[in-house]
Amino acid sequence: MAVSLHADVYIPGQSVVHRWAARPKLLSLLTLMFAIAMVRHLVLLPWVFVVVIGLYLAAQLPLSYLCRRLPYPGLFIVAMVGLLPWVSGETVIWQGWIFSLRLEGIQMAALVAGRFVAILTTGFVLLGTTPFLTLLEAMRSLGIPTLLTDMTLLTYRYLFDVANQLATMHQAMALRGYGHSRQTLRRRWNWLAALFGSLLLRSYEQSQRVYSAMRLRGYGQQPPRSLNQKPGGAIALPTILTLTAAVSVVICELSLASL
């Protein structure tokens, strides 16, 4: 299961976004994300979604790719903005018992959720159309220290391995009777504390073994080699369009702010 999740992040394709060179793609999409994060007026959200939806369609990624990934971070943003309509603002549009639904809170919740979905979708376009090693190579070529990119690669690689270990340990606990009978809250927390403590120790020991193996193979004793990356790729047109959209969002936001 972990292997399939690992391989499913990048979806091969022949779209213009897939052929877009990694370095300008990374810079352009990050610029677009920062521009979306600057939006403070709800009236700009439709234009933001037009840009993001157009980018997603240009990437030719299946809709299921986005639908499978949005719910998990979506639960987090729902928990964050769920209280805003009830506690933020002064214009009450509905009131019942001790609850008051406020117009300003609804607008703020829609703005935060809209920006979150737009930024997340842009990130999925980047990850779905760029191999992970190519993305790391682009980050390294932009001046990010090699140590950080190596740590990112190792974290991404062994995150799925740790998830497999967690599933194996949880199954072992179930075979030993965990969850089969009614347990007190204290005993349940003791089980979970032992589980995550053991997982932490195993992860630490594995990291030591991996680092020792890397050192024996010469890691840190010679200049880092470039990761595999396909040369060339489209640069001008998608970069210009994306940066133009990002600049237009920023200009509109500054214009509305000055009114």
Task: List, for residues 135-188, the tens digit of each pLDDT value.
Answer: 888 888 888 888 888 888 888 778 778 878 888 887 877 777 766 666 666 777
- Helix/strand/coil for 244: helix
Task: List, for residues 118-145, the tens digit of each pLDDT value.
Answer: 999 999 999 999 988 888 888 888 888 8
Element spanning 169, H or E: helix 146-175
Task: List, for residues 194-213, the tens digit of each pLDDT value.
Answer: 788 888 888 888 888 888 88
Domain ranges of the chain: 16-131+229-258, 145-216
Q: How far apart are the C-alpha atoms of 213 and 254, rounded to whole Å? A: 53
Q: Residue 22 in contact with residue 130, Cβ under 8 Å?
A: yes
Q: How far apart are the C-alpha atoms of 151 and 71, rounded to whole Å? A: 28
Q: How far is CA 236 from the centre of its chain?
A: 26
Residue count of the chain, please give it.
Answer: 259
pTM: 0.76
Q: How far is CA 150 from the centre of its chain?
A: 19
Element spanning 239, H or E: helix 236-258
DSSP notation for 13-41: --SHHHHB-HHHHHHHHHHHHHHHHT---
Q: How far apart are the C-alpha atoms of 220 and 146, rounded to whole Å? A: 10
| Residue type, position 131, single letter | P
| Backbone angles phi and psi of 226, in degrees to 5 | -70, 140
- Helix/strand/coil for 158: helix
Task: List, for residues 202-252, the tens digit of each pLDDT value.
Answer: 888 888 888 888 888 777 666 555 545 444 455 678 888 888 989 998 898
Q: Residue 239 in contact with residue 149, Cβ under 8 Å?
A: no
Angle at 232 between CA 154 and CA 35, to 5 degrees: 70
